[in-house]
Homo-oligomer: A and B are copies of this chain.
Amino acid sequence: MTEIAPVEQRRAGRPRSEDADRAIIEATLDLLADYGIAGTTIEGIAARAGVGKTTIYRRWKGLESLICDAVAELKGPLPALPGTSIRDDMLVLFEAAARSRESARNRKVYACFIGEMTRYPALDAQYRESVIKPRRALTQTALQRAVERGELRDDLDLDVMAEIVTAPTLHWMLHNPDRSPTREQLEQFLDGVLHGVAKR
């Protein structure tokens, strides 16, 4: 036996800074998927991540901030929009949304948020502000630019338009937690809302 443990053995102990952050985020998402918001605690996250509670409190103000960061991580960075057409822009956004739901775990996290948010108003407010708002703003920017290019109608409220354009994809994903949408489905939903389902 030597005093210097092999790398694998050291790794199995307390993870270091970046590894610890990653482990904490993953543990948070795992617990949300398995037990919902109600069953996710700092104690549980610390135990699952293999870190002390103080490590968590050094990085995050509390459970709400940590949960918001974990879900933001799950969503990934805001994608860069090509800006070539509203169809191109929206397909990039939809594919990013679909990618972040590729694993069953991640789909469960999204579902638990919808289900439990009404019981956690402070978390709900923080989530809407830090996670939803920047993403909604990106969609609105894409729509606004398309209105200015003359691609989209200029007589619709942007909030209403954003809801119409994104809802079929988001709603379908929420109600089909066992599979991912195909590229063809994303295109069908998008073309349907762009051109309408009424006969011309």
Contact = CB atoms under 8 A, between A and B. Distances in A.
Copies in the complex: 2
Given A160-B188, A168-B167, A198-B153, A36 B116 contact: yes
A93 to B, nearest CB: 15
Contacts of A161: 192, 197
A193 B156 CA distance: 12
28 contacts: A36-B116, A108-B118, A112-B116, A114-B114, A114-B115, A115-B115, A117-B177, A152-B198, A153-B199, A156-B197, A157-B188, A160-B189, A163-B172, A164-B189, A164-B197, A165-B197, A167-B167, A167-B170, A168-B168, A171-B171, A174-B174, A192-B193, A193-B196, A193-B197, A194-B196, A194-B197, A196-B196, A196-B198
